[in-house]
Amino acid sequence: MSSEYEFSLMILLFAPLAGAVFSGLFSQFKIKGSWPELISTSVMFASFMQAISLTLKLANSESITGDIHFNLHLGNWMTFEGFKSDFAFRFDQLSSVMCLVITGVGSLIHLYSIGYMSSDESKPRFFSYLNLFCFFMLCLVLANSIPLLFVGWEGVGLCSYLLIGFWYKDKVNSLAANKAFIVNRIGDLGFLIGTFIVFREMGTLEFSDINNVSKSLLVSSAPALSLAALCFFIGASGKSAQFPLYIWLPDAMQGPTPVSALIHAATMVTAGVYFLIRLAPFFLLSPNILMLIGIIGLITAFLAGTMALVQNDVKKVLAYSTISQLGFMFLACSVGAFDTALFHVVTHAFFKALLFLAAGSVIHACHGEQDMKKMGGLKFVIPQTFWLMTIGALALAGIIPFAGFFSKDEILYSSLALPMGHLSFYLVAQLIAILTAFYTARMIALVFLGESRMSQKLKSQVHESPLVMLIPLYILAFCTVLGGVLGLPHYLSNSLGHVPPILKSWLTTIVPIAELPESALGLSEGAVSFISGIFAILFFWLGIKYFTKNVKSEKNNKWMPISSVVEKLYYENFIVSWLVLKPFFWFSKLLLTFFENSFLQKLPFFLGVTTKFSSRRLSQYHNGNLHFYTFCLGLGLMLLFIYCGLMIF
């Protein structure tokens, strides 16, 4: 690879790191001025420009084998007998898509943050953390091997801790940051165990080598690799918030709203899905593990969808929505539609970033109020935010022609038509899609429609967000409307003259592409999309009608027969407390009482007394008698000879 590509890759990767260092210095020395936010945003746009440039060069490159990529080798890292891992990065079709999402959406979030955080005294520290977050995520998706990916994996975990607990003086924020950090360490343990197993079985940790070896293996020939796949899935579940390790993500809403948008749309939570896609040939060796991934994905999506339906905090609704959509992505991976999972990663980044930033605009307009019960009637007060958030909501609900419709419906059809799919997968996923449309309509109705439920004082202070916050929303809305073009379904691409879907064509040489046959029920992809689209429109309309009329009641959530259980989040805190925390505390107390207090604390005294007693006894034999010394020496040699004889025979 030419030095030009290497230089471009270095700018793409290290520009955010340079911005983080610059903003961090401003924060450390408490220098006033707007330079940190301007520099931080500029380096992100510079990184985005390099991602576009490298992607265009990649598209214009030719290769006989079809394996086109750019490498950046920065030196050796770990080298010992039988193992070598370098600081090497790889820019290929898959990482190019992720880099465009991370830097593109990340740049818009940085720009939005200039307005949102304008009055915060710790702006330099905030922008330093944002830049560092993006650097580690780029390190994750560009890594050429599992160890280097793990550096980015842990880096985004650290940055999520710093950003969720950004307002650390509030104890609630600190506890939320701790929870995110600790829960992710549980998943990371599984990730490391899987890494060790893969190296033992394959002798390599580079992605290209692992995938090449996996393609040459039979499904039944690698039982140990199934265990590794399970361990990797545990790691991905922690990072991408799958059941039961999803409990950290709703609490992550304690951070500033741009942080929520960055974590949920462009960076951390998609890391687990990206890892499954990157090692797609490896996971295809373990169909039983893929089946488990699909089941867990559906359970996660259903639980999170029902929880979103009873939340009153606008950011919590979107948080549980993210968990539910991640469940859809894992479902797509489980049936072998890895390209479809990536398609949903991209479209979800557009509309979820739009929704979170629009929610931040609402919160900014309402001077920090997040309770939807205390809003209402904002449609005519902040009309630009209303229409922009509605576009994101329509995409989330899966209504045509918005981007979410195309990616979600392709997942639904894949779960029905592909060989690893199943009718039960499709039916449950369709139910969750209906649920999504309903709780999304509830959010729009409670925030913008009906009569205002705000106090007169707050109502008089509500205002539209500044232009620096609205511009990123308009750009994301544009991407949300047209993003579906990246993966047009076959029934539409054929009507356009057999134009292949852009994303599928781009990923052909790097990700296994799932060919979508007609389903076993005889339903075509167009028929499934039509059914799903009708359901989405119907239940979104019903949700708008119902909740617009019932928002005045303090018990507007009680329409659900199981609402009391759902409102308590299926007693997840109670279950975690009794199954994990309390046994851990009891065991710790047991160790403290019977091991530390009774043994460890008395051990130094015991050693001192023993040493003092033995030294006194042994000193009696130091009597200056040469005959006694000779006797002891002979006795020692005799015992040594006896020991050696026993060892030989």
DSSP string over 219-248: GGG-HHHHHHHHHHHHHHHHHTT-TTGGGH
- Asked whether residue 189 is domain-assigned, the answer is no
Confidence class for position 251, pLDDT limits 50, 70, 90: confident
Same domain, 465 and 497: yes
Stated pTM of the model:
0.86
Tell whether 61 is covered by a domain: no
Q: Mean pLDDT lowest for which of 476-485, 568-577, 597-606? A: 568-577
pLDDT for 389 beyond 90: yes
Mean pLDDT, residues 352-359 taken together: 92
Query: Does residue 550 share a domain with residue 461?
Result: yes
- Measured from the Cβ of residue 167, the count of other Cβ atoms closer than 10 Å reads 16
Q: Does residue 545 sit within a domain?
A: yes
User: Is the pLDDT confidence value at 555 over 70?
Assistant: no
Q: Is residue 536 part of a domain?
A: yes
Q: Tell me which of 344 and 559 has the higher pLDDT.
A: 344
Which of 560, 586, 617 terminates a domain? The answer is 560
- Give the helix, strand, coil percentages of the chain, each rounded to 5: 75, 5, 20
Q: Is 80 helix (H, G, I), strand (E, B) or coil?
A: strand
Domain match, 399 and 350 both: yes
Closest CA to 241 of 349, 157, 334, 309: 157
Range of weakest confidence among 42-46, 110-114, 566-570: 566-570
- The C-alpha atoms of residue 295 and residue 334 are separated, in whole angstroms, by 9
User: What domain range includes position 489?
Assistant: 343-560
Among 25-34, 263-272, 328-337, 433-442, the minimum mean pLDDT is found in 25-34
Distances (CA, A) of 500 to 63, 280, 485: 20, 22, 11
In a domain, 282, yes or no: no
| Burial status of residue 496 (CB atoms within 10 A of its CB: 0-12, 13-18, 19 or more) | exposed
Mean pLDDT score of the chain:
83
Distance between CA atoms of residues 164 and 585, nearest Å: 26
Name the β-bridge partners of 88.
Answer: 73
Which residues lie closer than 8 Å to 10 by C-beta, 6 or more apart? 72
Task: Return d(Cα 98, Cα 266) in angstroms, integer.
Answer: 8
Q: How far apart are CA 359 and CA 370, in angstroms?
A: 9
Q: Which span out of 2-16, 138-152, 551-565 was modeled with the highest average pLDDT?
A: 138-152
**Nearest-5° angle of CA 503, CA 506, CA 508?**
105
Query: In terms of domains, do 597 and 612 share one?
Result: no
Q: Which of 535, 292, 345, 538 is nearest to 430 (CA)?
A: 535
Quick one: pLDDT band at residue 497, thresholds 50, 70, 90?
very low
Distance between CA atoms of residues 557 and 449, nearest Å: 17
Determine if the peptide bond prior to 401 is cis (ω within 30°). Answer: yes
In the predicted structure, residue 230 carries a pLDDT above the cut 90 = yes
The better pLDDT of the pair 141, 553 is held by: 141
Q: How far is CA 58 from CA 90, 332, 511, in A?
A: 12, 27, 16
C-beta neighbour count of 357 within 10 angstroms: 31
Q: Which of 492, 527, 560 is the last residue of a domain?
A: 560
Alpha-helical runs (H) found in 449-581: 456-461, 467-482, 490-493, 502-507, 525-550, 563-567, 572-576
Q: Give the HSE-up count for residue 101: Cα atoms under 13 Å, Cβ half-sphere.
A: 34
Count CB neighbours of 211 within 10 A. Answer: 18
In this structure, the answer to whether residues 520 and 572 fall within a common structural domain is no
Do 454 and 585 lie in a common domain?
A: no
- Only one residue has tokens 């999309």, namely 529
Residue 368 lies inside a defined structural domain of this protein: yes
Which pLDDT score, from 0 to 100, does residue 1 have? Answer: 47
Sign of CA dihedral 353, 429, 483, 280: positive
Average pLDDT value for residue range 178-183: 87
> Which 3 state secondary structure label does DSSP give 370?
coil
Q: Has residue 19 got a pLDDT over 70?
A: yes
Same domain, residue pair 502 and 546: yes
On the question of pLDDT at 558 being above 60, the answer is no
Whole-number pLDDT of residue 413 = 87
Mean local confidence (pLDDT), 454-466 = 77
| CA 381 distance to own-chain centroid | 35
**End-to-end CA gap in the chain:** 64
Residue by residue, what is the 3-state secondary structure of 21-35? HHHHHHHHHCCCCCH
pLDDT computed for residue 551 by the predictor: 62
Same domain for 530 and 465? yes
Q: Kindly state whether residues 549 and 462 are assigned to the same domain.
A: yes
Query: What is the domain count for the chain?
Result: 3
Question: Residue 452: is its pLDDT beyond 80?
Answer: no
In a domain, 79, yes or no: no
For residues 418 and 465, state if they share a domain: yes
pLDDT at 556: 47
In a domain, 409, yes or no: yes
Buried b (16+ CB within 10 A) or exposed e, 142-160: bbbbbbbbbebbbbbbebb
Least confident residue range of 118-122, 142-146, 258-262, 315-319: 118-122
Q: Are residues 645 and 545 in the same domain?
A: no
Question: Alpha helix locations (H) across 143-206?
Answer: 146-164, 171-202
The arithmetic mean of pLDDT across residues 243-270, rounded, is 84
Q: Cα separation of 162 and 154, whole Å?
A: 13
The CA-CA-CA angle for residues 638, 641, 642, to 5°, reads 85
CB atoms within 10 A of CB 83: 12
d(CA 114, CA 109): 9
Asked if 534 and 614 sit in the same domain, the reply is: no
Percent of the residues in the chain that have a pLDDT greater than 90, as a whole number: 31
The mean per-residue pLDDT over the stretch 187-214 comes to 90
What's the angle, vertex CA 216, arms to CA 215 and CA 217, rounded to 5? 95
Number of neighbouring beta carbons within 10 Å of residue 324? 27
Mean pLDDT of 15-33: 79
Q: How many residues does the chain have?
A: 649
Predicted local distance difference test score (pLDDT) of residue 83? 77
Other Cβ atoms less than 10 A from the Cβ of 220: the count is: 8
